[in-house]
Structure 1
């Protein structure tokens, strides 16, 4: 099927602006319905209750009558209206399309100016801007054309650091909307703080656990050795303390919104953690997360033994869990996302 040639056709760009209310769009198209015109493009946006509606149509023979009808309808609605004559449809978007998402808390004009300036410096054009989120962070998405994806990503990554914002650059295509798998760490990522520290405080060994953690961060202990030593200090702790610690855990800002939104978009979600199943399994149930894997604390007669059941979930274990969850979800590895706060 060949697209109709509209580049030389007389066209009208009708722009309506004013206070938003139900029925504006229907009324304006109703005013146009009595004329032999074809709708070529429509864009509508509402910002803080102010509506801007742009309608591109082929120009009829009775342009004056159409203008009168449109102006009369706009006046009845209390809207401003502008009609501009021209030729053709929109210019086709250039090859090399990308979606650039910018997140800030707060998002300040200086950051937006810098990011959009870098886009322009690459020779690309911003075709559309939409707001994706307002709370707990502000997220704006730019639809960009005429760009080199990898080059733009490199340029914006550097600028994002300077402006203290997060930037994601994604290729445009149907695969962007397919199923994905998001795998998240738990401690200091999905939740605030570290579970082992909270348990250590309850056991009265907070200082000793902190010293082992510091030694591991200096490279004196590997993750497994450090974890086993810290867990050993929890021996004798009543298992009921795990429930108390879970009740004190606080989600990271925006975590619940992130999970809810991605589930609605069809994502599969997983948590993989060096923390403990007695906490992470409950967290997964409460947030409706599909998969969870962590270390299991051994419990005998209602108390922690200071040992871990089975192999340690470390960096390699997390990578293997990601591959396993991806296979179970029928998601290829290039459609997985991993979020964490450190090397493990």
Structure 2
């Protein structure tokens, strides 16, 4: 997948796969002939005896070609998901909201540095969240409306959710961000459920105190399992998309776990990754044609 995918690139991919004993049984273009996306689906056959070395080489080739190369097992569940869950900050929207709040409070650089460390997996998310939130003590709640009005959806988000809703897929935001902003996205995109963190406000000011339970990595994974269980959905029929280290637990248990424009650690740890195209590229991974 990429903005353009030429036949020389396809040949390199097919050659790499052949070196691992995989032969091409069919090749189909999922993207329209014109437009900003290009995607080819290669169906493969053969015993894959060493998946980890292939995965490492796929990531290297993806970077070298400037393309998203994703391999996944074919299954009925892959083509017919029933539940899709998403991180919010830097996944559904092009911002980390807590960083935007910090800028409004005049402490943007201090909070952004902690956010970066947390997303790279260098420090624990719960500890970093509490530390960042404490710095927002006294922030006027009126700032929230201004920030919410300026938030930009990630590329392809509207197209992705329009199709998921058309398919009857239940959707959810599982976010370490804030419910205030997540509910705005819920209304805008037609999302079924929202699970995020509450901002404690007293007398029109943020208190800087975290309200339990905090939506951290384990809580996200637990919520994915809870939603699947409540609706009688097999985890193989689920999709999870996120960009940070605190998304890895839910990406690991979902049928399709996608690292979206993620930090290197997350991209290397997740089974699938999209770095070049927008969120709507998830539809290609479900076998959907333009």
> With structure 1 as the length reference, what TM-score do the two structures score?
0.62
1:115 maps to 2:16: no
How far, CA to CA, are the matches of 2:55 and 2:116 in structure 1?
35
Show CA shifts across 1:298-328 (max 9, x none): 1123221222222211111111111112123
Identify the match of residue 137 of structure 1 among 27, 34, 37: 37
Using the TM superposition, give the Cα deviation of residue 294 of structure 1 relative to its aligned residue in structure 2, in angstroms.
Answer: 0.9
**How do residues 218-257 of structure 1 correspond to structure 2 at under 5 angstroms?**
222-257=124-159
Show CA shifts across 1:75-130 (max 9, x none): xxxxxxxxxxxxxxxxxxxxxxxxxxxx1133233322212333455352333423
Aligned partner of 2:176 in structure 1 is: 274
| Unmatched segments (≥5 aa) in structure 1 | 1-102
Change (3 A) 1:340 1:175: closer
Change (3 A) 1:154 1:148: farther
Change (3 A) 1:152 1:113: farther
Identify the match of residue 178 of structure 1 among 58, 64, 80: 80
Change (3 A) 1:239 1:259: same
Over the residues paired in the alignment, what is the CA RMSD in angstroms? 2.8
Aligned partner of 1:339 in structure 2 is: 241
Q: Which has the higher strand share?
A: 1
Change (3 A) 1:233 1:140: same
Change (3 A) 1:148 1:259: farther
By relative contact order (CA 8 Å, sep 6+), the higher-ranking structure is 2
Aligned partner of 2:105 in structure 1 is: 203
1:302 maps to 2:204: yes
CA contact (8 A) 2:120 2:244 kept: no
Query: Which secondary structure does the structure 2 equivalent of 1:104 belong to?
Result: coil
How far, CA to CA, are the matches of 2:23 and 2:83 in structure 1?
30
1:315 maps to 2:213: no
Q: Rg larger in 1 or in 2? A: 1
Q: Identify the range of structure 1 (310-319 vs 254-263) with the bigger mean alpha-carbon deviation.
A: 254-263
Using the TM superposition, give the Cα deviation of residue 287 of structure 1 relative to its aligned residue in structure 2, in angstroms.
Answer: 0.6
Change (3 A) 1:275 1:136: farther
How far, CA to CA, are the matches of 1:218 and 1:283 in structure 2?
25
How far, CA to CA, are the matches of 1:327 and 1:150 in structure 2?
33
Change (3 A) 1:211 1:253: closer
Show CA shifts across 1:128-156 (max 9, x none): 42323565532222344x43367689636
How far, CA to CA, are the matches of 1:168 and 1:214 in structure 2?
26
Identify the match of residue 4 of structure 2 among 99, 106, 120: 106
Aligned partner of 1:265 in structure 2 is: 167
Query: Which secondary structure does the structure 1 equivalent of 2:215 belong to?
Result: coil
> With structure 2 as the length reference, what TM-score do the two structures score?
0.72
Query: Which secondary structure does the structure 1 equivalent of 2:184 belong to?
Result: helix
Query: Which secondary structure does the structure 2 equivalent of 1:250 belong to?
Result: coil
Q: Which has the higher helix share?
A: 2
Aligned residues: 241
CA contact (8 A) 1:197 1:209 kept: yes
How far, CA to CA, are the matches of 2:22 and 2:120 in structure 1?
46
Query: Which secondary structure does the structure 1 equivalent of 2:181 belong to?
Result: helix
Change (3 A) 1:116 1:176: same
